[in-house]
Chains A and B, each alone.
Chain A
Amino acid sequence: MPATNSESKSSLGVAHVAPGEFRLRIAYQKIGRLRFLSHLEVLRAMERAARRADLPYSVTKGFSPHMKLAFGPALPVGTAGEREYVDIWLTTYEPAEGLAGRLREASVSDLAPVAAGFVAAGEPSLTAACTIAEYEVIVGGDGARGTALAESLKTLVDSREFAVEHKGKKKVFDLARSLPKEHRVESCGRGATVDLIVRMGPEGSLRPDVFVREAILRASIDASIDTVTRTGTLIEDSEGAWRRPL
């Protein structure tokens, strides 16, 4: 996939960043079988790719100097991502397109950049800024073909609250807040596709697979989740408008 970055040195770039440091934002995919990587594994792989690509990365000071980079919200093991984000701080400026190209060549295709561009040094961190996530959940099995799944999901959403238990702790999600946009269910070759938009936050985020699995369970249908993909991550501004981080 070609880099879709459009920033150039004159339109954004150098004027917006601290002197001597350039903040390159990379959108990357984690797809196919590499969706089984953990966040830590992705982090390590990305650092290694950056070194292989010989990016002019900044190194932190201190006892054990390491590459300066910061990731967006973590993806769980087993969940794919089509457009995930990481910021890497560089010591010298080079056009984003070329950097992304080099990084792509130093990456395996299922975990590789899809776009890159410079962002201002003062931009909030990706973890703080990215609060909206778009998911696609593919449900396989004959039971997913009828209307039962859609009805079960609707009932679940209408119940307004959703409780989960994790490691003995109970957590209740306010669905009006956690699901800021109406979900969609469509039939597909393997069964059904569920599109969900979820609000993330420091207090924890609703996991789409857990939510859809509950709907399957309540509908008592012969179906199971095949894949979960985060198709996008968005920043919500103070007016409530959504935009892509890049």
Chain B
Amino acid sequence: MSSSEWERVERLLNRVERPARYIDHEWGASREPGFNYRAVLLYPDTYELGMANQAISILYERLNAADEVLAERCFLPWIDMAAAMREEDIPLFGLETGLAVRDADLFGITLPYELTYTNILEALDLAGIPLRARDRGEGDPVVLGGGPCAYNPEPIAEFFDAILIGEGEEAILEIANVHRRARDGGADRVGILRELARLDGVYVPRFYQPVRDAEGALTGVVADTGITPVVNKRVLADLDTFRAPTCPVVPFMDVVHDRASVEILRGCTRGCRFCQAGMVYRPVRERSADSIVRDAIASLKCTGYDEVSLTSLSTTDHSQLEDVLRRLTRRLEGKGISVSVPSLRVDAFSIDMARLVGGGRKSGLTFAPEAGTQRLRDVINKNVTEEELLGTVRHAFDAGWRRVKLYFMLGLPTETDADVLGISDLVRKVSDEARSCVEPSQRGSIRIAVSVSVFVPKAHTPFQWDPQLPRDEIGRRQDLLRSSMPRKGIELSWHEADVSFLEAVMARGGREIADAIEAAWRTGAVFDAWTERFDIGTWLGAFASVGVDPASVAVGEKSSNEILPWDHISCGVSRAYLARERERASEASTTSDCSFDGCTGCDACDELGVEIVLGGGTRGAR
């Protein structure tokens, strides 16, 4: 951006809230001169949410380290800034050099959450790029998606030229190189996309056609000639091949997860049957203790943060966690720098680890029993017993904690009223257990936060065929739970049922959903993930206007042999395994964690040619 262009942006900053979202110049921001390939990486929400995204940070570092490539960050301007930019005719730009997104070679958009889909359209529109891939011309950037929502890309497939399925460390540079070569060789847009479609893990939606029968039911998604019929996810064989980003951009603004972080393992095979992350990130691969310690120290040194978080889906499962924490706390002693461990397992070991890093700090512990009865916990394969939970709570309150947070899910397959009441019952027992560990005079400080979400059936899980409950039935069960929940010291919070309903539509829908997303955006839906912005009315109107019944998508049950909109996308876990797991769920029979107890036959390792990697060789008994 020339200085006169920046002056135009700068003039807007006096009239928008939180101008620090748009000013760049943070420590670690890249502005390397000399490049012939330009990428802009968008997180489709605000700066303060996007700066926490590790995928963006990894891709940013990988691209900027490559020869003659410049990658810039971009976040969706908040409503006030977007309005000001439209008024002044300023197109969406990358933060680092102010490059207009439409002039970039590659516009990478991460797909963190279904409720950011309208934000993607808002970004494309602000950038001046046609919303649908088929309407884009030779001068437009290649719009590339990727991230958690890519495992059912169909609702947004038409907005993307290409979507990367799976992990991006290696793939992003292959994509950039193939694109650059094809571009320099004079290939046209379709030619470039054909080249990209040859890369493992790259899905180019325009080369796949959904086929429907006379009733409109999906009978398959057929690939064009020469295009792979099923796109397998990309996966790193060994996390240690790449260092965690040690010099990420350090924001000025207060952002979520404002700390250094090292991803210490990827994948989780506990096998909760509702959990998409637990299926699509298989197999488990741990970073070694030596590289975790090295990267944590390097990252603190380079960023100046006062906290480093050891992140993953299940940090306390790492086979060398204790070793890592002891080494880190010793090296950081006396510096006012702390280590944090998110996502605790329900066991005494986890409490000991929290105590090791927390020192005097006892902020709060979080556990996720998910269901209130043993039967339902067995159905969902949440291998936690009531005794284990109560024992862990006792251990935590004995060690000085006064706050715990418990996560539950309502509307899980096979749930009955007895299971709903079981949640209240379990909370009561947790509360009694906590009180019994604490002096009577201190019992007033005990807080048990209970957070209840609504089951959303997700692609590539054993429950992908199961329906979400109708909204009025969810309401009835919420009432039942509310009226039976103990009050003293309990803080009950809900996940909006309407939001979960929309999530389910997006998570299970096919390409027919695209028109509704566009209609919703055209009638004002944007930043839907922000509670104060979400309006189910706008969405229902949008679905009606394009003739799609959202309830049939979210609430309809599917048979195990039905063709699913995402059948041409594979995360390695076989459909047969998912069906078998669903069968076992109906028998309330559990399946063990392969990273502790040996392979349970999900096929991911064979299919993807990788295997479990454990830093310490084995994982101990739980």
Contacts and interface: CB of A to CB of B under 8 A. Distances in A.
B20 A38 contact: yes
A36 B13 CA distance: 8
B361 A64 contact: yes
Interface in A60-87: 60, 62-67, 77-78
A78 B335 contact: no
Given A50-B304, A66-B336, A108 B27 contact: yes
B302 interface: yes
Nearest to A33: B23
A34 interface: yes
B252 interface: yes
B535 interface: no
Interface stretch (A39-47, A153-161, A181-189): A39-47
Nearest to A41: B252
Interface in B320-366: 334-337, 360-361
A66 B337 CA distance: 8
B617 interface: no
B78 interface: no
A27 interface: no
A42 B6 CA distance: 22
A60 B335 CA distance: 10
Find the residue from B20, B26, B301, B361 having the highest chain A CB count within 10 A. B20
A44 B336 contact: no
B252 A45 contact: yes
A37 B252 contact: yes
B336 A110 contact: no
Nearest to A110: B25
B83 interface: no
A48 interface: yes
Find the residue from B6, B19, B302 having the highest chain A CB count within 10 A. B19
A66 B13 CA distance: 32
A67 B6 CA distance: 36
A52 B304 contact: yes
Given A65-B336, A66-B336, A51 B20 contact: no
Nearest to A52: B304
Contacts of B25: 32-34, 108, 110
Contacts, number: 75
B260 to A, nearest CB: 10
A77 B304 contact: no
Given A51-B306, A64-B361, A59 B254 contact: no
Interface in B128-178: none
Interface residues of A, number: 32
A62 B400 CA distance: 16
B79 interface: no
A66 B27 contact: no
B10 A41 contact: no
Interface in B1-54: 6, 10, 13-14, 19-20, 23-27
A49 interface: yes
B554 to A, nearest CB: 42
A37 B251 CA distance: 11
A51 B26 contact: no
B574 interface: no
Contacts of A78: 13-14, 19
A219 interface: no
A234 interface: no
A120 interface: no
A106 interface: yes
Contacts of A107: 27
A41 B20 contact: yes
Find the residue from A36, A40, A52, A59 having the highest chain B CB count within 10 A. A36
Interface residues of B, number: 28
B534 interface: no
B253 interface: yes
B305 interface: yes
Given A33-B10, A59-B336, A48 B23 contact: no
A48 B250 contact: yes
B361 A63 contact: yes
A73 to B, nearest CB: 20
Contacts of B335: 51, 59
B303 interface: yes
Find the residue from A38, A49, A107 having the highest chain B CB count within 10 A. A38
A77 B19 contact: yes
A51 B27 CA distance: 13
A195 B323 CA distance: 61
Nearest to A65: B336
Contacts of B13: 33, 36, 78
Interface in B77-99: none
A52 B301 contact: yes
B306 A66 contact: yes
Find the residue from B304, B305, B337 having the highest chain A CB count within 10 A. B304
Contacts of B6: 33
A85 B247 CA distance: 28
A50 B335 CA distance: 12
A110 B25 CA distance: 8
Contacts of B361: 63-64
Given A59-B336, A78-B13, A41 B27 contact: no
Contacts of A106: 304
Contacts of A52: 27, 301-304
Find the residue from B20, B252, B303 having the highest chain A CB count within 10 A. B252
A59 B303 contact: no
Interface string A8-34: 000000000000000000000000111
B360 A108 contact: no
Contacts of B306: 47-48, 51, 66-67
A59 B359 CA distance: 15
Given A33-B23, A36-B13, A40-B254, A49 B304 contact: yes
Contacts of B252: 34, 37, 41-42, 44-45
B46 to A, nearest CB: 15
A230 to B, nearest CB: 17
B303 A36 contact: no
A110 B27 CA distance: 11
Given A59-B334, A78-B13, A41 B254 contact: yes
B8 to A, nearest CB: 13
A80 B149 CA distance: 42
A151 B304 CA distance: 50
A67 B336 contact: yes
B14 to A, nearest CB: 6
Contacts of A110: 25
Nearest to B360: A63
Contacts of B254: 40-41, 44
A63 B250 CA distance: 26
Contacts of B10: 33
Contacts of A60: 336
Nearest to A66: B336
A48 B334 contact: no
Interface in A78-136: 78, 106-108, 110
B20 A36 contact: yes
Interface string A136-179: 00000000000000000000000000000000000000000000
Given A51-B300, A110-B25, 8 more contacts: A33-B13, A36-B13, A36-B20, A38-B20, A52-B304, A66-B306, A78-B19, A106-B304
Query: Top 10 nearest A-B pairs by Cβ distance?
Result: A48-B304, A52-B304, A51-B304, A36-B19, A59-B336, A65-B336, A41-B252, A33-B23, A63-B360, A66-B336
26 contacts: A33-B24, A34-B23, A37-B252, A41-B253, A42-B252, A44-B254, A45-B27, A45-B252, A47-B306, A48-B303, A48-B304, A48-B306, A49-B27, A50-B304, A51-B305, A52-B301, A52-B302, A54-B301, A59-B334, A63-B361, A64-B360, A64-B361, A65-B336, A66-B336, A106-B304, A107-B27
